[in-house]
Amino acid sequence: MLPRRNFVLVLGVLAWLGLPNWGLAASEVPYKDRTVILVSIDGLANFYLDDPRADIPTIRRLAAEGARADAMVTVFPSVTWCAHATLSTGVWPNRHGVLANDYIDRNTKQKVTLLCDPVFDKDQILQTPTIYDVAHAAGLVTAGVLWPVTRNARTLHFSAPDMPGDTAWSDFGTPAWIQELKAAGLPVDSHGRWCREAGGGVPRDWLYVRMARQLLLQHQPNLIMIHLVEPDHVQHRTGPRSDDAYWCASYSDDRIRDLVEAIASSPRAKSTYLVIVSDHGFFPFEKVIQPNVLLRQAGLISVNDGKPVPEKAWCMSQGGAAGIYIFDTQQRDQLMEQLRQAFQSVEGIQAVLTGKEVEALGQKTGQEDPRCPDIWLAAEKGYSFSETSTGDEVVTTRSGLGGTHGYLPDQPDMWAMCVIWGPGIKPGTRLGKVQIVDIAPTIATLLGVELPDADGRALVKPN
């Protein structure tokens, strides 16, 4: 255990930095000679691991030499921002506070975007400690490469947040490290431009891995979190299991190969763990459900000069999920029941969720948190939600196949990937079906730190 004088020092440092201590308790002495790399490959579904068309030899080799899950159940809605907040914290969205990629401000009736952190710093939105918070408090060195919900994160020693602007990294990350990367010849100044280009995810992922390699070779952080993005971009355009999706799975495997080679060249080659996950799977879709059309037809949305005006209700899309916000508080219960019945008969809707059903999915209700919808809708495979409010058709057909996520998470094509590789992990270990909340406690165990009150469990305990 940490000597009491060291533990008190940790709490004193937290207080000096103005950081909450969240009731942190003394933990096992941290492993300062270890590195854990958490790689999230956005949208690379679990099914690709067993798909013979997926050319991913590196990831499969790491799974054979280490451990893999048969499935990893993600969050609801199964979207990037709340999934990564859960990967970081080990608790469900109802506790960490990142409830989706967006939410509706009930006072302004306008959408507040969380995706890519345009509004809030990390400490303004995350309500529970992260794995990098507790690692930092234990004296370990932490790093985030394009990791979501890390804008101005004070407990990351090295940070390049998942933000698209030309000056985002110097404004909200670690400017000295960005300058160091630039001096080393890495094209960090192109990041903003690549974020704006349709195919920019390809050079972006290449760059992010080289940033992680520089950390491994030059700084040896104890924790590196890296977010790779291109499989999500490709599958939104072409759908899962498309030719482009298989190409991108192979491209992502090449980036994992680059990381493995960097580990082999690093001073901690024999004491580094690699945790490879995705945040969600993907469904193809050809039909679009437009709940706001139904709300407009019910007189809950008006039109002024051709523009929709939320009056008594509005629907926010999250791809395969959608949230209905009811602004008429006096008729809230009546409207909830009316809309619940109306949406149950709409083609392509798998579930209409309220109350305990929402809480069972790790979310809060609108009564518990005003940022949360009053009703959640979940689409069937083949359907996606839109916020369109014009026209007469609640369900339309799009011109071609697309792909998205956001659906109820415990469905085979929505399952995320989980592979854990490193010293002391028995080769060929099968972990069964795991939960996304298990990742942060697993990393805590590998680092020898304590993550208080996590909803998940450690998946491996190497010698």
Q: Which helix (H) or strand (E) holds 357?
A: helix 355-360
Structural domain includes residue 374: yes
With residue 104 as reference, give the H or E element that holds it.
strand 102-105
Q: Residue 364 maps to which CATH number?
A: 3.30.1360.110
User: E strands along 329-391, which residues?
Assistant: 349-353, 375-379, 382-385
- Residues 331 and 333: their CA atoms lie apart, in Å, by 6
pLDDT tens-digit map of 300-331: 999 998 899 999 999 999 999 999 999 999 99
Confidence (pLDDT) at 2? 38
Q: Is 458 domain-assigned?
A: no
Is 271 inside a domain boundary?
yes
**Pairing between β-strand 283-289 and β-strand 301-304 as defined by DSSP bridges:** unpaired
**How far is the C-alpha of 136 from the C-alpha of 134, rounded, in Å?**
5
Residues 54 and 83 in one domain: yes
Question: Among all chains, which residue has been given the structure tokens 């451990």?
Answer: 67
Do 87 and 201 lie in a common domain?
yes
User: Are 266 and 33 within 8 A, CB to CB?
Assistant: no
Q: How buried is 16 (Cβ within 10 angstroms: 0-12 exposed, 13-18 middle, 19+ buried)?
A: exposed
9 in any annotated domain? no
Q: What is the pTM of this model?
A: 0.93
- All residues at 6 or more sequence positions from 390 whose CB lies less than 8 Å from its CB, including other chains: 293, 308
Biggest CA-to-CA distance, the chain: 69
Residue closest to 429 by CA, chosen among 404, 399, 459, 403: 459
Q: Tell whether 17 is covered by a domain.
A: no
Judged by phi (left if over 0) then psi (alpha if -120 to 50, else beta), residue 209 lies in alpha
Q: Are residues 276 and 131 in the same domain?
A: yes
**What's the chain's Rg over C-alpha atoms?**
22
Q: Token pair of 354, please? A: 């309220």
Rounded CA separation 143/224 (Å) = 5
Residue 340 in 3-state DSSP? helix
Residue 131 and residue 91 share a domain: yes
What is the domain range of residue 418?
Answer: 32-98+116-282+411-447
For residue 85, give the nearest of 98, 95, 76 by alpha carbon: 98
Tell me the H-state helices in 120-242. 122-125, 131-137, 168-172, 175-183, 191-196, 201-218, 230-238
Q: Are 57 and 202 within one domain?
A: yes
CA distance 146 to 38: 12
Which of 379, 404, 429 is the last residue in one of the domains? Answer: 404
| Spans of the chain below 50 pLDDT | 1-28
CB of 409 closer than 8 Å to CB of 78: yes
One domain, residues 303 and 269? no
**In whole angstroms, what is the distance from residue 454 CA to residue 89 CA?**
7
Statement to judge: residues 275 and 416 lie in one domain: yes
Structure tokens at 16: 């000096």
Find, among 422, 39, 418, the residue nearest to 211 by Cα: 39
Same domain, 159 and 301: no
Predicted confidence at residue 455, as pLDDT, reads 98
Q: How many domains does the chain have?
A: 2
* Residue 158 domain flag: yes
Rounded Cα distance between 65 and 110, Å, is: 49
Residues 398 and 260 occupy one common structural domain = no
- The per-residue b/e assignment along 140-173, b for 16 or more CB within 10 angstroms, e otherwise, is bbbbbbbbbbbbbbebbbbbbbbbbeeebbbebb
Collapsing DSSP states into helix, strand and coil, what is residue 146? coil
Amino acid at 412: P
Looking at the fold, whether 288 and 190 belong to one and the same domain comes out as no
Q: In the numeric block, which tokens belong to residue 318?
A: 């999250």
**Do 309 and 269 sit in the same domain of this protein?**
no
Domain annotation covers residue 25: no
Q: Report the candidate in 332, 295, 299 with the shortest Cα–Cα distance to residue 315.
A: 295
41 and 188 assigned to the same domain: yes
Percent of the chain with pLDDT over 90: 92
CATH number at residue 86: 3.40.720.10
What sign for the dihedral angle of Cα 231, 234, 239, 241? negative
Helix count (H) and strand count (E) of the chain?
16, 21
* Dihedral sign, Cα of residue 426, residue 431, residue 436, residue 438: negative
Residue 163 included in any domain: yes
